[in-house]
Every structure is written in structure tokens, then in C-alpha cells.
């Protein structure tokens, strides 16, 4: 089906119903076709080959030393010069359950 620009503006709801029914609509400026309105195809839902959050499970290994505080020299190497000579703040003696 083909419509002029004026007809398309006037009958846009009807054109959308035609497109939803699977028809293709051409919009003309004078006698020259300028646009095609076609139904949108539903994208295929692909399953991921693996769970994204668990993708690296078992592939990364580390020991408990990664949780140890960094020394002043290590802090400077990482660019944290301001933290290198900062005083160490002791942890509180009480836990949340004891409060």
C-alpha cells in the first residue's frame, strides 16, 4: 500500500494497524517513494553459553596474602604516596553483635 506524506500523517493509526498485520507501507512525496514502513521482527533470544557471573570460577587462583595490608613501599609503587606514611588506625575491640 502507498500513501502520500499528507495521507500518512492523517491516517497514521490505520497505517500502523496495516503494518502490524504484516503489510508493507510506502510513503510517497509526490510520486517519489521516500520511506518504507515495515513490521519490526522480534529479535532471537540467544542463551549465553555460560553464566556470566560464574564465567571465571576455577580459573583465577590467589592465596590469602592478597588480603594483607600493603607496605609503605608497595603503596608508593601503586601511586598512593599520600597513604604511605599515614598512621595505622586500630580496629575497634567490639564487634557489631556485642554492641
- Tell me the pLDDT band of 56, cut-offs 50, 70 and 90: confident
Q: How confident is the model at residue 37 (pLDDT cuts 50, 70, 90)?
A: very high
User: pTM for this structure?
Assistant: 0.43
* pLDDT tier at 4, thresholds 50, 70, 90: very high
Quote the CA–CA distance of 61 and 96 in Å, as a whole number: 31
Contacts of 24 (CB under 8 A, 6+ apart): 1, 36, 37, 38
pLDDT value at position 84?
Answer: 83
For range 68-75, the mean pLDDT: 87
Residue 93: per-residue pLDDT: 76
* Higher local confidence (pLDDT), 22 or 98: 22
All three cell numbers of 70, joined, read 600493603
Enumerate the domain spans of the chain.
2-37
Amino acid at each position: 500500500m502507498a500513501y502520500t506524506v499528507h495521507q500518512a500523517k492523517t491516517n497514521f493509526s490505520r497505517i500502523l494497524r496495516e503494518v502490524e498485520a504484516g503489510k508493507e507501507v510506502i510513503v510517497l512525496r509526490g510520486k517519489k517513494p521516500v520511506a518504507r514502513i515495515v513490521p519490526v521482527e522480534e529479535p532471537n533470544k540467544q542463551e549465553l553459553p555460560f553464566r556470566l557471573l560464574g564465567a571465571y570460577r576455577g580459573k583465577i587462583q590467589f592465596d590469602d596474602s592478597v588480603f594483607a595490608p600493603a607496605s609503605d613501599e608497595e603503596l608508593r609503587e601503586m601511586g598512593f604516596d599520600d597513604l604511605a606514611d599515614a598512621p595505622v588506625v586500630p580496629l575497634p575491640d567490639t564487634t557489631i553483635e556485642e554492641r
